[in-house]
Amino acid sequence: MPMRAYNLLVTFHHNQKGHAEQEVRDRMKDLGAYVEKLELCDTEGVFLIQVGGDAKVLVSQLKRMCHEDPGQFLYTYHWVPIERWVVSQMSDLRSAVTEIGKGIGDGETWMMHLHKRHFEEHHDDIIAYLTDPLNKGPVNMSDPDRIIAVEILGKSSDISLLNRYELLDVNKVKQTLEADRL
């Protein structure tokens, strides 16, 4: 299946592949959704998944579930909907980010969520290069209205424009819940 067929990326600890896969399947089943295809990425600790339905809606529902009961997410870390695949060349990434960034509304805050794997460029240099052409509202690193998610997986990358509810960082949810309890 070509990379562009996947609409969800999920990260997990590479030693917990079996548990993580079961967790993905169970959480999708909890939502009444189904996993059409789940593949291990060439990059360790990453599943590429084709889910039936809108991955953004599913992830926002999963984020709500995680807030209600974080114990349902023991083996997975990040759940990232995928909108677009591009070749992992800096110029191709920049073009795609510039195009997708047009979806950030006037007055909306935003940030870039970047994970890179098997890619030589320095993290901060990539962010500076990709965001330079974006002439948008203020950046907000803690609670942005919009998130440009970029996942570089060696030779291929996926990019999405998400709202704050459409990206699930399980550890961040757990930290927020712990801070709220204190």
Position 23, amino acid: E
Instruction: Check residue 3 and give its pLDDT.
Output: 63
Can you give the pTM of this predicted structure? Answer: 0.93
Instruction: Check residue 25 and give its pLDDT.
Output: 97
Instruction: Check residue 1 and give its pLDDT.
Output: 43
pLDDT along the chain (182 residues), means of 10: 80 96 97 95 94 96 97 97 95 96 93 93 94 89 94 95 96 90 78
Fold of 3-83+163-181: Alpha-Beta Plaits (3.30.70)
Q: Quote the radius of gyration of the chain (alpha carbons, Å).
A: 16
Instruction: Check residue 33 and give its pLDDT.
Output: 95
Block residue for tokens 């209205």: 145
Domain ranges of the chain: 3-83+163-181, 84-161
Q: What is the CATH number of domain 84-161?
A: 3.30.2130.30
